[in-house]
A and B are shown apart, each in its own frame.
Chain A
Amino acid sequence: MLESRGTRAVLVALLVVAIALITIDFRDGGNSGAHSLGGRMFGPVERLAGDVTGVFRGGGDSGEITNLQRQNDQLRAELAQAQTANTDAKELASMLHLSAGQYKVVTGTVIAAGGDYSDTVTINVGTKDGITPNETVLNGAGLVGSVVAATPSTATVQLLTDASTTVGIRMAGSGQIGSLKGSAGTLSGSAPLKLTLFSANATLNPGQELTTFGSVGGRPYVPGVPVGTVSAVTTQPGSLTPTAVIKPFADFTGLGVVGVVVSK
């Protein structure tokens, strides 16, 4: 038992440090300096590992696929902007102070993913590429999520399926607005998104499409990005607002190249 005293001292010290870290991070809302430090430390390594694993994943023609996906992302962003512009560009721009310029998309590759409970991924672009937090992330299929943290070489993307994500949406046909919440799903994508419309009179039908409503200044979500389709209407008989389960366009299990909409 002679060594036990020292052992316990070490244990207690470590536990105190851990609890202090939790407390500080809790106070800072999960954005304490520890995360940025970890990003600086592990970001380059993860980029390297992501490159290595990307070679194994992509096979020989990964470059061409990446190029095509990048173009696709770019076109998707432009299309979203064009549609927005076509319908009510001026009104929206005046209302939301939308910048008149074109979206610029920085593409990156997913190099790491979070643990069992969090739906976050790391992409291999960071502040050196112009990425800042609260920017929209999309891919060729639709909305992916938003940037929550950025380090010089990497950025952390919170996916649409994360339980702490809430996205304002607009129904494609009717123009009804509502909010979409993740439901603590994982990368396997089995967990559905939950849609709640704000208007009690709105009707929901399976197959309807959703686009992003847009946030102020385009952060964290630019308007017009397709999100998903209504797969099932779950409105309870007595409820005030219609609810539905949304199947997202993007395939979160196989995220590869994503684009970050960088406002000019």
Chain B
Amino acid sequence: MTSEVSPVRKALAALILVIALFAAVVVQLTVVNRLPLPGGAAPDLVLLLVAAIAVSTGPVTGAVVGFAGGLALDIAPPAAHYAGQDALIFCLVGYAAARVVRVIWNMTGERDPITTFTVMATAAAAGEAGKAALGMMLSDPDVTRAAVTRVLPTAILYDLLLAPFVYWLVAFVARGAVTWGTSRERAPVPGFGRAGRLSPVFRQASAGAAPRLRLAGTGDSYASPSPVRRVPRLRLAGTGESYASPRPVRRVPRLRLAGTGDSYASPRPVRRVPKLRLAGTGESYASPSPVRRVPKLRLSAGHAGSSLAASSARPPGVPVTLAGARTPKLNLAANRPRRTARSAVRTPGKNWLRSTPSPAIPATKRAVRAPSRGWLNSAGPGGLTGGRTGRRTGGRTSRRPRGFAGGGRSALSAAVARPARSPEEALAARSAPSGLSALAGAGTPLANRRSPQAGWLRGARATPTGYRQRRTPRSGWLGGASRPRTVIGSGVRGGRGGAFRRSRGPRGNWYAAPPSGAWLRRGRHPWRRRSQRLLRLVGVTR
């Protein structure tokens, strides 16, 4: 089904299956039906084959194969029932089996052969019952209640006895042609709720930072270049192809937050942030021009450690209106019209990052407050008001300044504890325009709160030396071999330090942190709904 499988192989498998279907019809009529089996019934090879093919391929194939096989049984000579009976039943069986097995795969996130086989056997049994029911409905004189009660259990029993062999055969053939065949059923699958296993998935998911909610799993290993077909609906990040591959994201969603369309390794992240460019416009962290350092999303506590540089960088004459980095209006985008109350109540949709935290919450309170566990899946669009906005926003940015996350650690003490930033940053801060650097909050007692660096949301690779490791995923982390050990955001949740705490400064990709398990399972994040509504409006999706 993918580019991984050669078309020759696919055609060969399809040919084999078609021949097998034809052979099954002939063998069924000439051999199986004539066997003097005890019980007066015989297994239905065609039905078994249809069910097996259906669960191994897909709904369309299942329906078509079922129709073809049933029709062949209907019109091949000894048939005494009406033409179309078996075609109807087998078509339904093929479609339903494939559908059910896909739903189960999507729900469990796992491609278990036992489950698949169970679905197939159930479908075969249901097909036998359906044949009997349809015969009775058409008042076939042969299909009486007595005949059904005698024949049906035996027929189902024989079907179940033969089902493993048929399933094995079909799986063997289809393995070569269908990428997600049985051979890779045991591929690593993310387990929800276990952050350790989840984190790579969500890092990759955050690579596109897309609200399509491509959550989970890829049936195949992460390193393999095969596409993820497994979770067709819940796409978080639009990584259609493998994570390691440098191909651009195909489904660029509308709400591309800070999407890295290309691989992390590519050093040109500018055009990747189409709308929601959060932080500064600097090309890279290393570049000394992070003029717009102060992002729109300036959470309350600036990260410590930059007080000297920031204060010295502040141009004189700029009114310091912001106590701490807590800006009453977070509309720090330099030339952009300020968002008003509307954006404050808004759900974290497209512009949530620009929303303002409520002034009602004092700085210290917000600074010490850790986001609640279920903050990500907590509210619908309506339930988000000022206080929550602040909290949610803060919680979402799990890579935010540390004083925020640290749980009561004051910014000042953090400032004392931390050395000044790197010279490049100091230079960068110095060159900031006045309005922006005012918002940096330098010069006030709480001025040591520093905004995240330019471009921190984008997760670009180039970072200043001191921050490089923390802010972005390491190069090659997608390959799975050397994933960062730190689960971003774990410090937030647990309230403990650990690896998270050892890092300095803002932690860049907050969205690379794994969302909570409940959020993932429910998949009802406002982003998702909004984007779906939009896409539906446009008519892209259903």
Contacts from A to B (Cβ < 8 Å): 1-7, 10-11, 14-15, 17-26, 30, 32, 34-35, 37-39, 41-43, 45-46, 49-50, 53, 110-122, 148-149, 151, 154, 156, 158, 162-164, 184-188, 190-191, 253-254
Interface: B233 (CB within 8 A): yes
Residues B36 and A118 in contact, CB atoms below 8 Å apart: no
Which residues of the other chain, B, contact A112 by a CB distance below 8 angstroms? 29-30, 33-34, 76-78
> A6-B60, A42-B76 in contact; A30/B29 too (CB < 8 A)?
no
**In chain B between 114 and 149, which residues have their CB closer than 8 angstroms to a CB of chain A?**
131-132, 135, 138, 140-144, 146-148
Interface: B38 (CB within 8 A): yes
Cβ distance A116 to chain B, nearest Cβ, rounded Å: 5
Q: In the complex the two chains form, what is the Cα distance from A187 to B36 in whole Å?
A: 7
Residues A11 and B91 in contact, CB atoms below 8 Å apart: yes
Residues B85 and A22 in contact, CB atoms below 8 Å apart: yes
* Interface-centre pick from A119, A120, A191, A254 (highest chain B CB count, 10 A): A120
Interface membership of chain B positions 501-542, coded 1 if the CB is closer than 8 angstroms to chain A and 0 otherwise: 000000000000000000000000000000000000000011
Q: In the complex the two chains form, what is the Cα distance from A253 to B81 in whole Å?
A: 21
> A1-B542, A22-B138 in contact; A110/B34 too (CB < 8 A)?
yes
- Mind listing 7 A-B residue pairs with CB under 8 Å? A19-B88, A39-B77, A41-B76, A49-B30, A117-B81, A154-B77, A187-B40
> A18-B91, A117-B143 in contact; A35/B36 too (CB < 8 A)?
no
Of the candidates A21, A149, A191, the one whose C-beta lies within 8 Å of that of B84 is: A21
> A112-B78, A117-B151, A121-B78 in contact; A14/B84 too (CB < 8 A)?
no
Q: What's the interface size class on B, roughly?
A: 35 or more
Residues B26 and A42 in contact, CB atoms below 8 Å apart: yes
Of the candidates A17, A23, A111, A119, the one whose C-beta lies within 8 Å of that of B142 is: A119
Residues A25 and B31 in contact, CB atoms below 8 Å apart: no
Which residues of the other chain, A, contact B60 by a CB distance below 8 angstroms? 3, 6-7, 10-11
Which residues of the other chain, A, contact B132 by a CB distance below 8 angstroms? 117
Q: A53-B31, A112-B34 given; name 4 further pairs at CB < 8 Å.
A: A14-B64, A34-B83, A35-B83, A114-B29
Which residues of the other chain, A, contact B238 by a CB distance below 8 angstroms? none
> A49-B27, A113-B29 in contact; A184/B79 too (CB < 8 A)?
no
Q: In the complex the two chains form, what is the Cα distance from A3 to B26 in whole Å?
A: 33
Closest to B66 in A: A14
Q: How many A-B residue pairs have CB under 8 A?
A: 210
Cβ distance B233 to chain A, nearest Cβ, rounded Å: 7
Residues B74 and A114 in contact, CB atoms below 8 Å apart: no
Q: In the complex the two chains form, what is the Cα distance from A54 to B419 in whole Å?
A: 93
Cβ distance B427 to chain A, nearest Cβ, rounded Å: 50
> A19-B88, A115-B73 in contact; A46/B79 too (CB < 8 A)?
no
Q: In the complex the two chains form, what is the Cα distance from A5 to B542 in whole Å?
A: 9
Which residues of the other chain, A, contact B436 by a CB distance below 8 angstroms? none
Residues A113 and B37 in contact, CB atoms below 8 Å apart: no
Residues A4 and B25 in contact, CB atoms below 8 Å apart: no
Residues B63 and A22 in contact, CB atoms below 8 Å apart: no
Q: In the complex the two chains form, what is the Cα distance from A1 to B231 in whole Å?
A: 11
Which residues of the other chain, A, contact B40 by a CB distance below 8 angstroms? 116, 185-188, 190-191
> A21-B84, A116-B41, A184-B142 in contact; A156/B30 too (CB < 8 A)?
no
Q: In the complex the two chains form, what is the Cα distance from A1 to B77 in whole Å?
A: 40
Residues B75 and A34 in contact, CB atoms below 8 Å apart: yes
Closest to B25 in A: A42
Residues B75 and A41 in contact, CB atoms below 8 Å apart: yes
Residues A162 and B83 in contact, CB atoms below 8 Å apart: no
Residues A116 and B77 in contact, CB atoms below 8 Å apart: no
Q: Which 10 A-B pairs have the closest CB atoms?
A: A38-B75, A21-B84, A118-B80, A18-B88, A113-B33, A34-B83, A22-B84, A42-B76, A112-B29, A186-B40
Q: In the complex the two chains form, what is the Cα distance from A48 to B320 in whole Å?
A: 96
Of the candidates B77, B87, B142, B147, the one whose C-beta lies within 8 Å of that of A43 is: B77
Interface: B59 (CB within 8 A): yes
Closest to B31 in A: A53
Q: In the complex the two chains form, what is the Cα distance from A7 to B80 in whole Å?
A: 31
Interface membership of chain B positions 56-67, coded 1 if the CB is closer than 8 angstroms to chain A and 0 otherwise: 001110011011
Q: In the complex the two chains form, what is the Cα distance from A85 to B10 in whole Å?
A: 67
Of the candidates B25, B58, B77, B147, the one whose C-beta lies within 8 Å of that of A156 is: B77
Residues B72 and A50 in contact, CB atoms below 8 Å apart: no
Q: In the complex the two chains form, what is the Cα distance from A115 to B71 in whole Å?
A: 14
